[in-house]
């Protein structure tokens, strides 16, 4: 680095260090109030009473930096981030540090969930500088917004062999004052490197062949943890899209080793401490390799993606565990993460009362007092509760805490306790319900209640698919309600917005918001067959193409052209915690192309795959959702046209049969020819055109590339037809 603090000392939020922290969620002093008090983001509001003279990302802040020719300190985080709270308490509430920042920098605080475009650009810069990244992200910019120094969490003073924040600030102040031209020159050169790496230039086109899928599956097999499931070492993140890909790969190959990878990983995660065994829902990730100790925040997107993969695994295997986990995730989201007017909240914090994980952990004595000796013994045996605890956390509040988790299969534990499996499960379910009520009296973790279009779209897809497979009307109602909420509150003149909170909608939707919501609308159509979902998806797809498509090289940019507060216009294709927008768009375009017979959509989806073919081959683990789209491309979907009344028992039986089968690649449409809207539907969806019922019975046509087999009217014949490739 240019300036004299070794970047190798920087620490990521993902690092599993322990630290004593007191009261970071306690009521802050009102002695100071800064501009963040006027923001809607819960994360920004958490910093509104810091002595730091914070600005939101705004014209005011950027202009002030240029006028005063001061460097910018850009701090990016999110409300559920534990180490963001740590750095706030240690540094941003410290008046001596605040003075250094206020006198020498323009300090800007950004919620990464509001502005993922800024987060992506400056996270890339931190990763290029340091070799790693994480949150809180701390980046120093010239007034032209070009980065010249960056890191993640800094302790306030030098410790852990790392420079303290005061040390870093003093180095940077001195460098800006003494070596400004050198700093600016470095920032220009570094920004040019970011632009070169941003995907703006043509990557060339490769072929999408089946050996890409084979290579990706073999890569996953090589990194598979045969003992604990998942891939690689600690920390372990839930591999939702990797398992979704393997479900498709197994569908084609019937290779049992991949089914074993799927089952072992899903079961180990479901039994581990990363899953909230009392209240349902998954925490962010496991800090160890065996899914025991989680990073306790709960993210909406994780639970959306995980509910979908457990649901799809249930569809294939009929394992009741997968159904239970799906239902518990969806209940958790419905009960704890849902706005009464529609929409899903973003996240729940890792901390409560200033302590990480205390809401979710239990002392052995506490459990025995609540449950009684007999039931307490059963519970503690089943969930591996130890007198000395199994969770070593912050020393300041350690009290033999336990994270409930399951090490042995229920059959083994039942035998050990002299109970039948059924009786054991009944006892456990009653005790879980009792402990949930007790836990509910504790101080809850903070909740980020902003509604994000992209993340809500993932959850709409989860509830829509759950309705299809589990046939619970409540799931469909919630999916419909949220989609209507977005259309009412977050669409204006045909354009999506990203954020809604407390009646206020803000920030233009980025490419992810469009590609995710279009996908959700297609999933909703294939659930209730309301033609308005497809019409809306089609209109938004046209808007998405006009706003984000790269006519020169193919693929979609993340942001619109002409945003003057961005130093680069990125085109992300790599899957991170959530799938890349380009991979989501590729699949949505393929599906719409088949439903609407739209060759242009198909060609754009194909182009996305081909310009990423080389990258997929080199690093398949980073392109799992793109590989799922490639699977759809290489193994064309079954195009299923149903002619019959949607409310009839015959049609319902047909739909139940279809959704009971594991058919990863399919598109589905229905038309009731007696309805006035039938003509409009068949004009919009050519798959349904020129087809009629046989003997006034609900009739099904199974097609591929718009070439159809002979129609059938019975579920038995339909199963036979669908089982054929």
Token pair in block for residue 135: 């949150």
| 362 bridge partner residues | 402
- Examine residue 716 and state whether it is found in any structural domain, yes or no: yes
Is there a single domain that holds both residue 233 and residue 186?
A: no
Give the model's pLDDT for residue 28: 52
pLDDT class of 9 with cuts at 50, 70, 90 = very low
- Examine residue 601 and state whether it is found in any structural domain, yes or no: no
Tens of pLDDT along 438-478? 999 999 999 999 999 999 999 999 999 999 999 999 999 99
**How many distinct structural domains can be found in the chain?**
3
- Examine residue 106 and state whether it is found in any structural domain, yes or no: yes
Over residues 491-516, mean pLDDT: 96
pLDDT class of 132 with cuts at 50, 70, 90 = confident
Q: Which of 141, 167, 196 is the last residue of a domain?
A: 196
Is there a single domain that holds both residue 136 and residue 274?
A: no
Please determine, for residue 262, whether its predicted confidence score (pLDDT) is greater than 90: yes
Is there a single domain that holds both residue 192 and residue 284?
A: no
Q: Which of 448, 480, 495 is the last residue of a domain?
A: 448
| Under 8 Å between Cβ of 568 and 613 | no
Q: For residue 353, give its domain range.
A: 210-448
Q: How far is CA 268 from CA 328, 412, 669, in A?
A: 16, 16, 37
Token pair in block for residue 356: 């990480």
Q: Give the gyration radius of the chain's Cα atoms.
A: 26
Nearest to 44 by CA among 82, 87, 75, 11: 75
Distance CA(620)–CA(626), nearest Å, equals 9
* Residues above pLDDT 70, as percent of the chain: 94
Distance CA(418)–CA(9), nearest Å, equals 54
Token pair in block for residue 649: 């028992």
Nearest to 344 by CA among 303, 398, 387: 303
Q: Tell me which DSSP letter residue 411 carries.
A: H
Give the model's pLDDT for residue 392: 66
Give the model's pLDDT for residue 400: 85
Please determine, for residue 201, whether its predicted confidence score (pLDDT) is greater than 60: no
Give the model's pLDDT for residue 22: 34
* Beta strands, E only, 332-470: 347-348, 351-352, 355-356, 362-363, 401-402, 447-448, 451-452
Tens of pLDDT along 288-338? 999 999 999 999 999 999 999 999 999 999 999 999 999 999 999 999 999
674-679, long-range: CB within 8 Å, 24+ apart, which pairs? 674/645, 677/531
Prior bond of 207 cis (ω within 30°): no
Q: How far is CA 184 from CA 378, 382, 487, 536, in A?
A: 65, 61, 45, 47
Is there a single domain that holds both residue 700 and residue 642?
A: yes
Distance CA(103)–CA(660), nearest Å, equals 65
The residues, any chain, with a CB within 8 Å of residue 247's CB and separated by 6 or more, are 262, 309, 312, 313, 316, 662, 664
Is there a single domain that holds both residue 421 and residue 272?
A: yes
Distance CA(593)–CA(603), nearest Å, equals 9
What's the mean pLDDT when you consider all of the chain? 92
- Examine residue 611 and state whether it is found in any structural domain, yes or no: no
Please determine, for residue 216, whether its predicted confidence score (pLDDT) is greater than 60: yes
- The CATH number of whichever domain residue 188 belongs to comes to 3.40.30.10
- Examine residue 465 and state whether it is found in any structural domain, yes or no: no
pLDDT class of 197 with cuts at 50, 70, 90 = confident
Is there a single domain that holds both residue 388 and residue 276?
A: yes
């Amino acid at each position: 680095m240019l300036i004299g603090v070794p970047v190798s000392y920087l620490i990521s939020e993902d690092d599993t260090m322990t630290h004593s922290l007191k009261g970071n969620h306690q009521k802050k002093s009102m002695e100071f109030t800064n501009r963040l008090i006027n923001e809607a983001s819960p994360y920004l509001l958490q910093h509104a009473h810091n002595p730091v003279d914070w600005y939101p990302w705004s014209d005011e802040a950027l202009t002030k930096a240029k006028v005063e020719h001061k460097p910018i300190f850009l701090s990016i985080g999110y409300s559920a981030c534990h180490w963001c709270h740590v750095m706030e308490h240690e540094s941003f509430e410290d008046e001596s540090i605040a003075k250094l920042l206020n006198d020498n920098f323009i300090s800007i605080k950004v919620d990464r969930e509001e502005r993922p475009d800024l987060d992506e650009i400056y996270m890339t810069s931190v990763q290029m500088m340091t070799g790693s990244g994480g949150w809180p992200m701390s980046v120093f910019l010239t007034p032209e917004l070009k980065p010249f120094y960056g890191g993640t969490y800094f302790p306030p003073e030098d410790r852990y062999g790392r420079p303290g924040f005061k040390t870093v600030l003093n180095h940077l102040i001195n460098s800006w004052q003494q070596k400004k031209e050198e700093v600016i020159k470095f920032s220009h050169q570094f920004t040019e490197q970011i632009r070169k790496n941003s995907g703006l230039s043509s990557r060339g086109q490769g072929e999408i062949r089946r050996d890409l899928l084979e290579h990706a599956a073999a890569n996953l097999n090589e990194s598979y943890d045969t003992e604990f499931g998942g891939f690689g070492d600690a920390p372990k993140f839930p591999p939702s899209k990797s398992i979704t890909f393997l479900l498709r790969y197994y569908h084609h190959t019937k290779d049992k080793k991949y089914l074993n990878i799927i089952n072992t990983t899903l079961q180990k995660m479901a039994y581990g401490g990363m899953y909230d065994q009392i209240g349902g829902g998954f925490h962010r990730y496991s800090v160890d390799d065996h899914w025991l100790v989680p990073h306790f925040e709960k993210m909406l997107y994780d639970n959306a993606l995980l509910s979908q993969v457990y649901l799809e695994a249930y569809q294939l295997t009929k394992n009741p565990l997968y159904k239970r986990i799906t239902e518990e995730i969806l209940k958790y989201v419905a009960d704890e993460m849902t706005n009464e007017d529609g929409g899903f909240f973003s996240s729940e914090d890792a901390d409560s009362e200033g302590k990480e994980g205390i809401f979710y952990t239990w002392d052995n004595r506490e459990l025995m007092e609540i449950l009684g000796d007999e039931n307490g013994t059963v519970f503690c045996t089943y969930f591996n509760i130890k007198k000395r605890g199994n969770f070593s956390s912050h020393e300041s509040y350690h009290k033999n805490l336990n994270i409930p988790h399951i090490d042995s299969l229920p059959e083994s534990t039942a035998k050990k306790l002299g109970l039948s499996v059924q009786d054991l499960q009944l006892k456990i379910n009653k005790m879980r319900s009792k402990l949930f009520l007790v836990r509910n009296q504790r101080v809850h973790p903070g909740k980020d209640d902003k509604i994000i279009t992209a993340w809500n779209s993932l959850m709409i897809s989860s509830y829509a698919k759950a309705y299809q497979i589990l046939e619970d009307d409540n799931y469909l109602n919630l999916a419909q309600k949220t989609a209507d909420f977005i259309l009412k509150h977050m669409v204006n003149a045909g354009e999506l917005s990203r954020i809604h909170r407390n009646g206020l909608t803000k920030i233009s939707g980025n490419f992810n918001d469009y590609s995710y919501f279009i996908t959700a609308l297609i999933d909703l159509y294939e659930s209730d067959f309301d033609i308005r979902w497809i019409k809306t998806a089609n209109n938004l797809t046209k808007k998405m193409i006009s706003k984000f498509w790269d006519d020169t090289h193919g693929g979609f940019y993340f942001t619109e052209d002409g945003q003057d507060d961005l130093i680069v216009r990125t085109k992300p294709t790599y899957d991170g915690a959530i799938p890349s927008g380009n991979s989501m768009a590729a699949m949505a375009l393929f599906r719409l192309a088949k439903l609407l017979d739209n060759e242009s959509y198909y060609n754009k989806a194909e182009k996305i795959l081909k310009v990423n073919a080389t990258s997929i081959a080199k690093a398949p683990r980073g392109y799992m959702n793109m590989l799922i789209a490639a699977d759809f491309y290489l193994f064309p979907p079954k195009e299923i046209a149903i002619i019959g009344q949607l409310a009839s028992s015959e049609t319902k039986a047909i739909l139940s049969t279809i959704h009971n089968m594991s058919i990863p690649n399919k598109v589905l449409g229905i038309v009731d020819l007696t309805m006035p809207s039938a003509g409009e539907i068949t004009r919009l969806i050519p798959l349904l055109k020129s087809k009629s019922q046989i003997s006034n019975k609900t009739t099904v046509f199974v097609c591929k590339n718009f070439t159809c087999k002979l129609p059938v009217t019975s579920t038995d014949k339909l199963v036979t037809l669908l089982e054929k490739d």
